[in-house]
Amino acid sequence: MVRILFAIMLLLSCKASHRSTALATPPIVSRQVWEAADAMPFKTHTPVRLTVHHEGTQLNYTDNAARKIKAIQRWGMGPDRNWADIPYHYLIAPDGTIYEGRNVNNVGETNTEYDPTGHLLICCLGNYEVQEVRPEMLQSLIRLLAWCSKQYNIPLETLSTHRDNSSQTSCPGKNLYTYFANGYVLREAKKLE
């Protein structure tokens, strides 16, 4: 009986060890590196949903993503929007690099009618209505979603896109949305659980 219990405990320990390795924190470029401005105080929340956006303007594989992110922050915090910070919690460049956005515990922003309270917003940089999704970006998105699910205790089943929450947009673009519509993103993220 003791041997059986020991074998079960060993098996569970190995499984837990494998799980934590699969869900190790992905490399994330800090706000300091992309020279983020200080955020203004804003409404806090506890994220309970995972929601994916695209940024909506062309960004190529070789373009400077950090410079683009800084420009998004300037625009969002500028007089046209007057937001507290960059609108998204995480951003992913076409080459798969993940960038830290606004504090996860602060409500994100959107240019449409849906209330992003409770949504952890992940943005894929580029316009996926016209651009094709690079494999590096897709893999980083899947890995980040799995990690966020574990890190913030958000079930992967809450996963949606901007267009699923708003009738005013096609975001994240047809070329990225297809991976959500056919279940690929959710299926692959669940494999990392």
Number of domains into which the chain is organized: 1
Show contacts of 149-157: CB within 8 Å, 24+ apart: 149/50, 149/189, 149/193, 150/23, 150/193, 151/25, 152/47, 152/104, 152/120, 154/47, 154/48, 154/49, 154/50, 154/120, 156/50, 156/186, 156/189, 156/190, 156/193, 157/186
Span 33-81, pLDDT tens digits: 999 999 999 999 999 999 999 999 999 888 999 999 999 999 999 998 9
> Is residue 96 situated within a structural domain?
yes
**96-148 pLDDT, tens digit each:** 999 999 999 999 999 899 999 999 999 999 999 999 999 999 999 999 999 99
Does any domain span residue 58?
yes
- What's the CATH code of the domain at 79? 3.40.80.10
146 located within any domain: yes
pLDDT of res. 1 = 40
Q: What is the pTM of this model?
A: 0.88
In a domain, 2, yes or no: no
Q: Cα-atom radius of gyration of the chain, to the nearest Å?
A: 18
Inside any domain, residue 6: no
In a domain, 112, yes or no: yes
* Range with the poorest average pLDDT among 19-28, 73-82, 88-97, 170-179: 19-28
Its domain, for residue 54, covers 26-191
Task: Please check whether residue 181 lies inside any domain of the structure.
Answer: yes
Residue 169 lies in a domain: yes
